[in-house]
Amino acid sequence: MKKIIYILLLILVGNFGAYAQASTEKKTKIKTSMEIVAREKFDPTRNAVEDLQASITKATKENKRIILDVGGEWCIWCRWMDEYFIKNSDLTKLRDENFVWLKINMSEENDNTEFLAKYPKAEGYPHLYVLEKDGTFLHSQGTAELEEEKSYNKQKFTDFLKKWSPSKSTETK
């Protein structure tokens, strides 16, 4: 009787170990197949004035314009826009080659009222303001015009970025 119990116990433990191994392998496959891409978040603790000054310095040095991306972590369309850029690397390349992209927080924690007062009122979020490399205001862009269903329209976004890209002339200094 002891031998039978011992044999059953070995079979049970052996099968349990094999099952546990299979479960672990599935979890590992899921983890390794998931693409984890970080996005820059809207940060209510940031100082918009200081961030703009740093962006002006960078834009001047790199001959780029500045886009203020106004929104917050509460804004689903703001997060969708970030994800849209992550999924469309050619659009991200166009953006990054021509603009310094600066996130400006708009939330209960910090609505940046004083900073945003110098720009036209945003009717919705996210909202984009295009600035010259020296910080001079050029254009106010509601993103609803760039949307398509529950995403963005790639051609409209491309046209917007191309229209407001700085001219890359070969100036001699």
* Assigned domain for 42 exists: no
Range of the domain at 15: 1-34
Please report the pLDDT score of residue 4 as a whole number: 60
How far apart, in whole angstroms, are the C-alpha atoms of residue 121 and residue 102? 18
DSSP class of residue 150? T
Same structural domain, 68 and 147: yes
Please report the pLDDT score of residue 7 as a whole number: 60
* Assigned domain for 169 exists: no
Please report the pLDDT score of residue 39 as a whole number: 86
* Assigned domain for 15 exists: yes
How many residues does the structure list for the chain?
173
Same structural domain, 119 and 152: yes
Please report the pLDDT score of residue 25 as a whole number: 41
Please report the pLDDT score of residue 36 as a whole number: 54
Indicate the pTM of the whole model: 0.76
Q: Both tokens of residue 113? A: 């009222």
Same structural domain, 67 and 127: yes
Q: What is the identity of the amino acid at 155?
A: Q
Of 75, 71, 76, 99, nearest in space to 157 by CA: 99
Same structural domain, 142 and 59: yes
Domain harbouring 127, CATH code: 3.40.30.10
Same structural domain, 28 and 71: no
Q: Both tokens of residue 2? A: 């002891």
pLDDT by 10s per residue, the chain, length 173: 666 665 655 565 555 444 444 444 433 333 333 455 678 999 999 999 999 999 999 999 999 999 999 999 999 999 999 999 999 999 999 999 999 999 999 999 999 999 999 999 999 999 999 999 999 999 999 999 999 998 999 999 999 999 999 987 644 43
- Give alpha helix (H) positions in the chain: 2-33, 48-62, 76-87, 89-98, 113-116, 154-164
* Assigned domain for 173 exists: no
